[in-house]
Structure 1
């Protein structure tokens, strides 16, 4: 990947937010099947559809969605390069967060399964119960406030349009990870890579700050 000066500046930033499923993990979600199981029309937004249901029906469908997500989390794997990239960022003192449309509990379980739980403080992992769901930029704003930096100082990394829309709306830089290299949202993307391993190789060399893994609080 050839980097411009602006790209290098983005990669030097000290505050990064990651999407979870399909970004830090291998994509295993069959969203068409999930929609069918929950009665969501093809192509519909799952969370928006459940939000519009009558209260009791919505409660039951949310329980069903959580069960599906927990089953998927139990067999997920780290994406290519995820562990190396996170270790490298953490080693240079980068503050790391997760913003997911999943639940926080499921996100934390997934981070444990893929060996990344010690690099993310629990308060920096936001699910759909802690922040408005992407593509609303609420989660980025919350992490920016927590970290004491403007949203424009952040990097948002994701594999889908919602992630990139969220970053753009907040004024953060965006990195699109697409193993197919189709890169469908160039207008929302600052840097496009085929894998997190490729992204790790592109990071400018910075002094490494000795530190211990972040512990959940």
Structure 2
């Protein structure tokens, strides 16, 4: 079993064609990344969005970048401002952008320039059901997903919701990149188990970088 707070060096773990986990890749930058998350949340607080079907999402979210992803009764969409506050999303920190670009390159996707970063905060019991990231205009661009804080079980499936899924443990500093032939695979997070992380406390934070427009 992996030690959650091990000092092992980063390594790559293939998931599928066009999909890879960069283990512990963001570990050394974690404190700076978390500081940026807290600063963004001070400008645009985490909130539980409502799905088009009227359900409250268990994951709290905020965004940064030129665009932000959100959900309400009208559906899922990218917008230049938070529909709840009417304010523009905070700008994307250079640290975020550079990490997303570098890790996309390492995973085989050159030229990635994200314009949106969805920031999810998981508390114990929070989950993300199987879904596809398909609201972006250019599906040739990959998804870069950074895990910080408590470990979580990531589900990575096929191209139909009912397809079999892989279940892999994502730990503090792990980055998943998927695109190309895996771009529209279903994925999700199983309910988060309680715990306390030395840097993130009782939460898991996830940064998901996309090229939305």
Q: Give TM-score, length-normalised by structure 1.
A: 0.33
More helix by share: 1
Tell me the TM-score normalized by structure 2. 0.34
Greater Rg over alpha carbons, structure: 1
- Say which structure is richer in strand: 2
